[in-house]
């Protein structure tokens, strides 16, 4: 089989492309493969990125793909033993769709390059409503300009909406307010914290 | 039986109180009852309030004790059918100690006069740490000066600490920052919200 890019042909549009492919087919080439490759050239950059970056739920094998090292870019996160990781993974998995940890995998490198999570809270207020709490959002500092943060926030919001939440909330530093505003969020209240001494 | 406060005796201290009780006993009164009443006068105001107000986990029967009406003081909370209430109660109960809804019951009136909840989030960061999210805190507006809010926040924080959390977080309006500072909290970040349209 011969790949599309192995030819020097200049395909200005799909019509001329198909014409050439038709001639190639008559010459005995495999049309199916060529058509697949040709269709790829008509993809938008978004589609190309969707192919390049997979947004999905965390899998237990993601520890080997740099998931923990990525979290270390966010905050204090010591190395985690395989046993501790697997145990925590199973604990979170027990909550099913009520606690989703999302990752973005770079298909080329096989590395996890972004993550974020959403925890679904079941309330009595708002007609027994639900609220999504977005937590632990981080994008690999080496990957810029791919809108991965926005993709992931979109993924988490879509999940919360599908779970029946009437809102999603998160806490961020003042530096990140503009980013979340671009994602459709608005400032609301003040986060307070009480750290327990060790 | 005769109650302690039915006497006009002026008990300056426990010694004179016991002396009078001893004489009353000789006169045929029931010492046990009198002593119980007398001991109550030596309780601290905190102990009296602990007797007057019970801080405990939400029970399914609390719907009949004004739990929903109390939530209506906090935010939008339509009346909830018994079926919807019971279903949500059971959904929350499935998470056991990972989602605690606390109430304060006034023993005299049998009404729920304060509530708050804490949701335990299991993370990978901070050595597979846990965080408590405090939500939906409200004290009956008719009850003032009893420090019920502070008692309840203490109860929720104690629970989060016992569950192994390294911190508890909450979001509040600027009006409530001073109250939470008195409870041991500090300002941290900015809460952002994304409301989904209906």
User: Across the interface, do B173 and A190 touch by the CB < 8 Å criterion?
Assistant: yes
User: Across the interface, do A171 and B170 touch by the CB < 8 Å criterion?
Assistant: no
Q: Which residues of A touch B88 (CB under 8 A)?
A: 122-124, 128
Q: Which residues of B touch A82 (CB under 8 A)?
A: none
B68 touches chain A (CB under 8 A): yes
Q: What does chain B look like in DSSP terms, one character per residue?
A: ---GGGS-----SHHHHHHHHHHHHHTT--HHHHHHHHHHHTS-HHHHHHHHEEEEE--GGGGGGTHHHHHTTTS------HHHHHHHHHHHHTTGGGEEEEEEEETTTTEEEEEEEEEEEE-SHHHH-EEEEEEEEEE-TT--SS-HHHHHHHHHHHHHHHTTEEEEEEEE-GGGHHHHHHTT-EEEEEEEEEEPP-
Q: What is the ipTM, given to two decimal places? A: 0.76
User: Across the interface, do B170 and A191 touch by the CB < 8 Å criterion?
Assistant: yes
Distance CA A17, CA A39 (A): 10
Q: Which two tokens stand for residue B190?
A: 């900015």
Looking at residue A25, its pLDDT comes to 53
Q: What is Dmax (Cα atoms) for chain A?
A: 76
Q: Which residues of B touch A180 (CB under 8 A)?
A: 192
Q: Is the pTM of this model over 0.90?
A: no
Q: Which is nearest to B2 in space by CA: B36, B40, B48, B47?
A: B36
Q: Which residues of chain A have pLDDT under 50?
A: 1-15, 17-18, 21, 30-43
Looking at residue B31, its pLDDT comes to 42
φ, ψ of residue B32 in degrees (nearest 5): -60, -45
Strands of the sheet with A186-195, listed across from one edge: A53-57, A99-106, A111-122, A130-139, A165-172, B186-195, A186-195, B165-172, B130-139, B111-122, B99-106, B53-57
Q: What does chain A look like in DSSP terms, one character per residue?
A: ---GGGS-----SHHHHHHHHHHHHHTT--HHHHHHHHHHTT--HHHHHHHHEEEEE--GGGGGGTHHHHHTTTS------HHHHHHHHHHHHTTGGGEEEEEEEETTTTEEEEEEEEEEEE-SHHHH-EEEEEEEEEE-TT--SS-HHHHHHHHHHHHHHHTTEEEEEEEE-GGGHHHHHHTT-EEEEEEEEEEPP-
Q: Which is nearest to B71 in space by CA: B110, B114, B109, B104?
A: B114
Q: Which residues of B touch A177 (CB under 8 A)?
A: 190, 192
Looking at residue A28, its pLDDT comes to 52
A193 touches chain B (CB under 8 A): yes
Looking at residue A4, its pLDDT comes to 34
φ, ψ of residue A152 in degrees (nearest 5): -70, -40
Looking at residue A110, its pLDDT comes to 95
Measured between alpha carbons, how far is residue A113 from residues A79, B77, B112, B135 in Å?
17, 41, 48, 32
Cβ-based neighbour number of residue A145 at 10 Å: 5
User: Across the interface, do A189 and B171 touch by the CB < 8 Å criterion?
Assistant: yes
User: Across the interface, do B188 and A189 touch by the CB < 8 Å criterion?
Assistant: no
Which of A127, A136, A189 comes nearest B125 by C-beta? A136
Measured between alpha carbons, how far is residue B194 from residues A130, A169, B35, B121 in Å?
13, 6, 60, 20
Q: Which is nearest to A108 in space by CA: A146, A138, A71?
A: A146
Q: Which is nearest to B40 in space by CA: B61, B14, B12, B66?
A: B14
User: Across the interface, do A191 and B196 touch by the CB < 8 Å criterion?
Assistant: no
Q: What does B125-160 look like in DSSP terms, one character per residue?
A: HHHH-EEEEEEEEEE-TT--SS-HHHHHHHHHHHHH
B187 touches chain A (CB under 8 A): yes
Mutate to test the interface with A, among B124, B132, B150 (most CBs of A within 10 A): B124
Q: Which residues of A touch B80 (CB under 8 A)?
A: 124, 127-128
Distance CA A191, CA B46 (A): 30
Task: Note which residues in 74-133 of chain A have CB less than 8 A from chain B.
Answer: 74-78, 80, 84-85, 87-88, 91-92, 95, 99, 119, 121-128, 131, 133
Mean pLDDT per 10-residue section of chain B, whose length is 198 residues: 36 46 52 37 56 92 96 85 96 97 95 97 96 97 90 96 98 97 97 90
Looking at residue B75, its pLDDT comes to 83
Q: Which residues of B touch A75 (CB under 8 A)?
A: 125-126
Mutate to test the interface with B, among A125, A153, A172, A183 (most CBs of B within 10 A): A125
């Amino acid at each position: 089989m011969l790949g599309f890019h192995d030819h020097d042909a200049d395909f200005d549009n799909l019509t001329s492309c198909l014409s050439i492919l038709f001639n190639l087919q008559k010459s005995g080439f495999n049309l199916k493969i060529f058509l697949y490759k040709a269709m790829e050239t008509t993809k938008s950059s978004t589609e190309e990125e969707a192919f390049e970056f997979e947004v999905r739920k965390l899998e237990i094998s993601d520890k080997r793909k740099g998931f923990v090292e990525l979290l270390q870019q966010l905050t204090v996160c010591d190395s985690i033993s395989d046993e501790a990781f697997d145990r925590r993974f199973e604990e979170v998995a027990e909550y099913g769709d009520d606690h989703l940890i999302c990752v973005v995998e770079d298909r080329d490198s096989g590395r996890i390059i972004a993550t974020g999570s959403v925890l679904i809270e079941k309330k009595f207020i708002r007609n027994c409503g639900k609220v999504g709490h977005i937590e632990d959002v981080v994008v690999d500092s080496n990957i810029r300009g791919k809108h991965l943060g926005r993709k992931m926030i979109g993924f988490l919001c879509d999940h919360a909406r599908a779970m029946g939440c009437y809102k999603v909330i998160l806490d961020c530093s003042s530096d990140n307010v503009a980013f979340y505003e671009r994602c459709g969020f608005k400032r609301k209240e003040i986060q307070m914290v009480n750290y327990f001494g060790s």
